[in-house]
Amino acid sequence: MWLLPISIIVFTIIIAVPLSRYMAKIMDGNYQPPRPLRWFEKKLDGGPQTWKQYTVALLVFNAVLFVYGYIVLSLQPWMPLNPRGLGMLAITYRNEFLHFMNRMTGFELFPASIYGFGDLPAIIDPRDIAIICGLSFVICIFGGVLPAIRAGRLKPVEALRYE
């Protein structure tokens, strides 16, 4: 029962140091990708972009990933590596997590005396999930587009002066 959460935490800890070194190498400009990746990067590289081109590329990319993520989540009960048909693992194990946190901290997150229930109830409605995903998508788009527009209006020399 605890194998998945523990393995996620362990994997995250193991991969943190090599991934951070890799990202630092990229940010410093010292990274040279392997030959097949260089070819792939050259095919994808469209050259410099205006803020409008960047915004359109960002919107298309986010829309594709949004649709892909929604399809994957919707098809979870029928996925081959999901033999018990669990659509959402976090919702399924929500009460076990709350009991685990109670045992570890000695603090009850949702006291039954206040909230009137012993276990955390959950109703999974696909319409609610679609609304949540859609609003999250809109918020993320505005969070990326508005700063991109503002940054696109700046002159590079003036923008770097205040760094």
Give the model confidence (pLDDT) of 130-141 as tens digits. Answer: 888 888 888 888
Q: What is the DSSP string of 104-131?
A: HHS--SS-HHHHS-SS------HHHHHH
CB 58 within 8 A of CB 145: yes
Reference 134, options 57, 71, 54, 63; nearest CA is: 63
Convert the pLDDT of each residue in 1-49 to its tens digit: 677 778 888 988 999 988 888 888 877 878 888 888 888 878 777 778 8
Average pLDDT over residues 102-115: 83
At 152 the pLDDT is 76
Q: Is the per-residue pLDDT at 81 higher than 80?
A: no
The predicted pLDDT at position 27 comes to 78
The CA distances from residue 159 to 77, 145, 146, in Å, are: 49, 18, 16
Query: What does the pLDDT average to over 79-91?
Result: 65
pTM attached to this predicted model: 0.38
